[in-house]
């Protein structure tokens, strides 16, 4: 009889498949085509997770998002997401879930992320007027 996978093992396996299969899924957020791609590019280029242990995480599926502020030239979007870091995954770490806010400038050319909360590879920290951390 083949070995069976317990419920915790099965849940982790399914979550892992979802992370692999859905990377790049967030193409439209907040009703804005292309916004998800801009957030994904910025996160993939600048974010770290798990106290810097995961130095090159990749944005996985977005589990929820909400537009916190919307003006003609700016959006602030709060995003809950899954992430994975292929290098750290080899040791059984660097897979998980997080929440960050992204400040995005809107122009005729599309979106540019100008701020992101949470730890970043470059370590730049900007304090917003509302005292939330933007990295």
* In the chain, domain spans: 25-134
Helix/strand/coil for 95:
strand
Say which CATH class 25-134 falls into: alpha beta
Contacts of 111 (CB under 8 A, 6+ apart): 32, 34, 35, 38, 75, 104, 105
As a whole number of angstroms, the distance between CA 76 and CA 113 comes to 10
Tell me if 59 sits within 8 A of 22, measured CB to CB: no
3: left (phi over 0), alpha (psi -120 to 50) or beta: beta
68-109 pLDDT, tens digit each: 999 999 999 999 999 999 887 777 789 999 999 999 999 888
Question: Higher-confidence residue: 32 or 2?
Answer: 32
29-56 pLDDT, tens digit each: 888 899 999 999 999 999 999 988 899 9
What pLDDT shows up at residue 27?
Answer: 57
As a whole number of angstroms, the distance between CA 93 and CA 78 comes to 25
Q: How far is CA 125 from CA 1, 3, 28, 102, in A?
A: 55, 49, 27, 13
What pLDDT shows up at residue 44?
Answer: 96
Residue 71 in tokens: 């003006």
């Amino acid at each position: 009889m083949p070995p069976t996978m317990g419920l915790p093992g099965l849940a982790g396996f399914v979550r892992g498949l979802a992370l692999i299969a859905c990377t790049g899924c967030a193409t439209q957020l907040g009703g804005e085509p292309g916004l998800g791609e801009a957030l994904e590019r910025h996160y993939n280029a600048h974010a770290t997770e798990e106290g810097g242990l995961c130095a090159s995480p990749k944005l996985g599926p977005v589990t929820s998002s909400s537009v916190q502020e919307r003006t003609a030239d700016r959006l602030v979007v709060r995003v809950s997401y899954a992430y994975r870091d292929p290098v750290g995954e080899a040791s059984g770490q660097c897979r998980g879930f997080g929440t960050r806010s992204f400040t995005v400038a809107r122009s005729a050319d599309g979106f540019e992320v100008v701020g992101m909360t949470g730890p970043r590879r470059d370590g730049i920290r900007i304090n917003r007027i509302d005292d939330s951390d933007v990295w």
